[in-house]
């Protein structure tokens, strides 16, 4: 007993060192640009619903919300959180119905007593309790608190298709305010304001081979994705321009918090943000191989980021893997290159008898940008479409990007300055805590005008980049 007590401090010290190294490794991985395969790819099992677990590579805490393997889901472009982020809505199977969750805690609230043939037609409006959907020629409002239905507008003919899907069905048909809704009567499309009843001009899109159309976050633009290209117009259908070739998954957000853009893959392995005003492209992410991600930038992700669920593309990580594959990543929407935050391996892949659509990874960001829900079939790779729901609290993530200091470089601060102490020529980039580039300099003393937390990235020739979080007072 005495021998055990004498050894206890050594044991605790070793455990402390191992724990600290693991945390540092997780933080380093979160900002790395290396190819990182998911460990325990075949054998990883999440805990039961309501329990938290930690991503073993990136250190992100994840809460499992369901364990019935029945989350149906929709493409991540949909706004699945209510305007105030109080509620989260998703479809579940067996039987097919709509389920309401608490948008803050992820706890299930109830199944909605709605009988509709296609659950994908539901949209959140400016009223945080009201869902909106089309039924024949009527636009219906449904209150999730009272179960009351209200006819918002009766049009002269059927809106949407026979199932009530609007404008092709894949986009987020409302603007971020939940007021301007894009509607269609056959091939005639137009914007309608459900708050004040204003109806925009119509346009016949029969000559565009449209997959789907949607309205921009501000409500000022309409974008169509077709088999050949993406087109954008002002809301009154003026100033038509062609932004991108071919039809790919996309979402919309704001470059540097102010300029609306569409985010989509261009070419084989590069993701671009393309500015609406002039069509200029800004690279925001690249990998080493062709990829097809699901995107979510609802609410402009608080006008800062787009979130991607990168597919695994049926690869075996023991034989072939690429940067960001199988991951959830947070990508800054900036004109200058900014660090990408790797959140977790979502561990979604095509089941033994599955399909690409049934088993695609999907994710949904809320309006405030502090909750990310995603679905994954990590608990059942045998049967098709057996997904559960998971949650990440983005506001509780570690903000550190620090790696082990090298003997060549040290970073420290004094009042209103970041100081780089290095015996090698270096180039330093300073980002704010949201990943936006503040300045880039080869100087050793970098003035900072606003107090706060900053991320400094130092690049040196033939050396790995060095990152550190600093506080400037």
Per-residue buried b or exposed e for 60-89, using 16+ beta carbons within 10 Å of the residue's own CB: bebbbbbeebbbbbbbbbbbbbbbebbbbb
Q: C-alpha distances in angstroms, 274 versus 43, 157, 392, 416?
A: 40, 36, 28, 35
Count of residues making up the chain? 473
Predicted pLDDT at 437: 84
Predicted pLDDT at 457: 83
Report the alpha-carbon distance of residue 122 to residue 51 in Å, rounded.
29
Q: Name the helix (H) or strand (E) containing 2.
A: helix 2-30
Which runs of consecutive H residues, i.e. helices, occur in 217-313? 300-304
Q: How many helices (H) and strands (E) does the chain have?
A: 2, 34
Report the alpha-carbon distance of residue 189 to residue 424 in Å, rounded.
60
Whether the predicted model's global pTM rises above the 0.85 cut: no
Going from the first residue of the chain to its last (473 residues), give the mean pLDDT of each consecutive group of 10, the final group possibly shorter.
Answer: 39 36 56 89 92 93 96 78 94 90 97 84 93 94 96 95 83 85 93 96 91 90 89 95 80 91 87 92 90 79 85 90 95 86 94 86 92 95 94 77 48 80 80 79 88 81 71 75
Report the alpha-carbon distance of residue 198 to residue 39 in Å, rounded.
54
Do 361 and 375 form a contact (C-beta atoms < 8 A)?
yes
DSSP 163-232: T---TTSSS--B-TTS-EEEEEETTEEEEEETTT--BPPPEE-GGG-EEEEEE-TTSSEEEEEESSEEEE
CA 222 to centroid of chain Cα atoms: 21
Do 252 and 267 form a contact (C-beta atoms < 8 A)?
no
Phi, psi of 176 (to 5 degrees): -65, -25
CA 103 to centroid of chain Cα atoms: 15
**3-class SS of residue 120:** helix
Burial of 35: CB neighbours in 10 Å, binned 0-12, 13-18, 19+: middle
Query: What six digits make up the tokens of 454?
Result: 């900053």
Predicted pLDDT at 398: 58
CA atoms within 13 A of residue 418's CA, in its CB half-sphere: 32
Predicted pLDDT at 225: 87
Do 469 and 397 form a contact (C-beta atoms < 8 A)?
no
Q: Name the helix (H) or strand (E) containing 262.
A: strand 259-266
Q: What is the CA radius of gyration of the chain?
A: 24
Edge-to-edge strand ranges of the sheet holding 229-234: 210-215, 221-226, 229-234, 241-245
């Amino acid at each position: 007993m005495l021998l055990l007590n004498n050894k206890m401090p050594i044991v605790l010290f070793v455990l402390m060192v191992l724990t600290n190294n693991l945390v540092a490794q997780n933080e380093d991985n979160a900002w790395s640009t290396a190819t990182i395969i998911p460990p325990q790819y075949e054998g990883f099992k999440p805990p039961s619903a309501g329990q938290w677990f930690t991503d073993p590579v990136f250190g992100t805490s994840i809460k499992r919300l369901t364990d019935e393997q029945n989350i149906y889901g929709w493409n991540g472009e949909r706004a699945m959180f209510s305007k105030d982020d109080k509620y989260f809505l998703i479809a579940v199977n067996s039987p097919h119905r709509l389920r309401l969750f608490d948008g803050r805690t992820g706890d299930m609230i109830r199944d909605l007593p709605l009988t509709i043939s296609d659950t994908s037609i539901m949209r959140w409006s400016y009223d945080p309790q009201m869902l909106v959907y089309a039924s024949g020629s009527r636009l219906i409002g449904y209150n999730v608190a009272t179960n009351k239905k209200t006819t918002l507008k009766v049009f002269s003919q059927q809106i949407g298709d026979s199932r009530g899907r609007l404008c092709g069905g894949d986009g987020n048909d409302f603007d971020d305010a939940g007021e301007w809704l894009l509607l269609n009567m056959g091939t005639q499309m137009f914007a309608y304001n459900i708050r004040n009843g204003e109806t925009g001009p119509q346009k016949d899109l029969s000559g565009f081979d449209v997959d789907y159309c949607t309205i921009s976050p501000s409500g000022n633009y309409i974008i169509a994705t077709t088999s050949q290209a993406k087109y954008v117009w002002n809301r009154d259908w003026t100033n038509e321009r062609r932004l991108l070739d071919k039809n790919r998954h996309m979402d919309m957000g704001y470059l540097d918090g102010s300029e609306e853009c569409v985010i989509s893959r261009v070419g084989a392995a590069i993701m671009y943000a393309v500015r609406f005003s002039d069509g200029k492209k800004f690279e925001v992410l690249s990998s080493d191989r062709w990829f097809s991600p699901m995107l979510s930038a609802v609410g402009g992700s608080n006008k800062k980021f787009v979130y991607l669920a990168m597919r695994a593309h049926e690869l075996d990580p023991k034989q072939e893997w690429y940067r960001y594959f199988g991951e959830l990543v947070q990508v800054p929407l900036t004109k200058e290159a900014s660090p990408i935050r790797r959140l977790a391996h979502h561990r979604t892949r095509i089941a033994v008898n599955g399909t690409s659509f049934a088993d695609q990874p999907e994710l949904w960001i809320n309006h405030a940008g502090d909750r990310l829900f995603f679905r994954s079939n990590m608990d059942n790779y045998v049967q098709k479409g057996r997904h559960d729901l998971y949650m990440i609290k983005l506001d509780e993530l570690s903000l550190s990007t620090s790696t082990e200091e090298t003997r060549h470089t040290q970073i420290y601060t004094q009042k209103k300055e970041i100081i780089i102490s290095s015996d090698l020529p270096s180039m330093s980039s300073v980002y704010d805590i949201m990943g936006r580039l503040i300045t880039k300099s080869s100087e050793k003393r970098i003035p900072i005008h606003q107090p706060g937390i900053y991320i400094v990235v130092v690049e040196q020739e033939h050396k790995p980049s060095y990152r550190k979080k600093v506080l400037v007072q």
